[in-house]
Amino acid sequence: MMKRNVLVKLIAVLSLVGVLALCASTAEAGKGKKKKGGAAALFKKLDANNDGKVSADEFAKIKEINPKLANKKDKAITKRFTALDTNNDGYLSPDELAAGAKKKKKSK
């Protein structure tokens, strides 16, 4: 009877260890995955009037969308917009925003 109790407890402990290992590996696999939607989703949120381009005024709303940027000065946001606007037309295209996101990701 005592051997059976020990065996049952051992099985329970091993099962618990297996579940914990599975949870840990699942959490580890989730790290480093892209955020949902990435640059395309951000572009869609910023393009308030749905004209297919993001103006400087629309881009300034990024502070409301991304909490990490909430404390950034408007001057820094304007500077970032200017850097992303590679063709200097005063608007960001989806490609310009995506290229800027890739460039920033590489520099991390």
Computed over its alpha carbons, how large is the radius of gyration of the chain?
24
For residue 15, give both structure tokens: 């099962």
Contacts of 25 (CB under 8 A, 6+ apart): none
pLDDT over threshold 60, residue 104 = yes
pLDDT over threshold 90, residue 47 = yes
CATH superfamily placement of domain 38-107: EF-hand (1.10.238.10)
pLDDT over threshold 70, residue 73 = yes
Query: Residue range 1-8: average pLDDT?
Result: 70
pLDDT over threshold 50, residue 92 = yes
pTM of the model: 0.63
pLDDT confidence of residue 4: 72
Q: How many CB atoms lie within 10 A of CB 58?
A: 19
Helical ranges in 31-93 per DSSP H: 38-46, 56-59, 62-65, 74-84
